Amino acid sequence: MALSLGWRAFAPFPMNHCGVFVKAMRSSGLPLFPWGHGPRRGVRSLLEPEMKAFLEENTEVTNSGSLTPEIRLRLLTPKCKFWWERADLWPHSDPYWAIYWPGGQALSRYLLDNPDVVRGKSVLDLGSGCGATAIAAKMSGASRILATDIDPIAGMAITLNCELNQLNPFPILTKNILDLEQDKWDLIVLGDMFYDEDLADSLHRWLKNCFWTHRTQVLIGDPGRPQFRGHSIQHQLHKVVEYSLPESTRQENNGLTTSTVWDFQP
């Protein structure tokens, strides 16, 4: 994952005052942790009791401040120690799974409001993070779901979030599947995945392949990040719906005000 600029350069608030940890991640796109290129630390097994305890201790259960109050999630909030803590004290890889990103919020809202899009269908949520969009697909009646993320801790967080919403956990795969041959999926959803130019190029190639091989429908949620707006995939998108973001999501995403669901039509 390529980092463009140092996180401190973008921080809109005094870094010694508040929200150091989260603002480092949100203020300039996404992946602006000082350790962003480093090895992933501290992850052994998905279901280790001490990891579960760590997640429960360092997140808050919330359903407020997002587009989908129907979904409860364990997230990093101002009530959590690491919201205020120095970023370099966090002992694991960048916790993207602890944020409910605006792209995922828009996709999830759309799936909850339009269950026909997923009912009885197989759905792959790529870069699932906290798992909210996969959870929305499950709530709306998808027949088969796979949530994938390259971060093993995301897998644990998704499992906990399924339990929070009284859902049996669906399969979760914590590896990069972009170089693998794909199963046939009726629908692939991607929330806030176009935050890095190289990743955007890989996703674009992979999505074209899925579309032309299996005629898979692809829905992308994005709040208008520069790496998405400036990418050639723009010529192959049809706007489905645009949502106004809740105030707290705006504040935490550097002034982004809306998030849009796009249908990919190469």
Ligand X SMILES: C[S@@+](CC[C@H](N)C(=O)[O-])C[C@H]1O[C@@H](n2cnc3c(N)ncnc32)[C@H](O)[C@@H]1O
Interface contacts to ligand X, rule CB under 6 A: 30, 96-97, 100-101, 103-104, 126-130, 132-133, 148-151, 154, 176, 178, 191-193, 195, 199
Candidates 64, 137, 108, 140; CA nearest to 221 is 108
Least CB distance from residue 132 to ligand X, whole Å? 6
Least CB distance from residue 17 to ligand X, whole Å? 25
Closest CB to ligand X among 30 and 111? 30
The CA-CA-CA angle for residues 166, 108, 240, to 5°, reads 155
Closest CB to ligand X among 100 and 170? 100
Helices (H), the chain: 20-26, 49-57, 81-84, 102-113, 132-139, 152-164, 197-214, 226-229, 247-252
Least CB distance from residue 158 to ligand X, whole Å? 10
Closest CB to ligand X among 186 and 192? 192
Candidates 17, 67, 49, 128; CA nearest to 258 is 67
Residue nearest ligand X by beta-carbon distance: 104
Least CB distance from residue 4 to ligand X, whole Å? 15
Distance CA 68, CA 130 (A): 13
Q: Is 23 helix (H, G, I), strand (E, B) or coil?
A: helix
Closest CB to ligand X among 19 and 103? 103
- Please answer whether residues 51 and 156 qualify as being in contact, where contact means their C-beta atoms are separated by less than 8 angstroms: yes
Closest CB to ligand X among 20 and 99? 99
Q: How many Cα atoms within 13 Å fall on the side-chain side of residue 11? A: 20
Least CB distance from residue 202 to ligand X, whole Å? 7
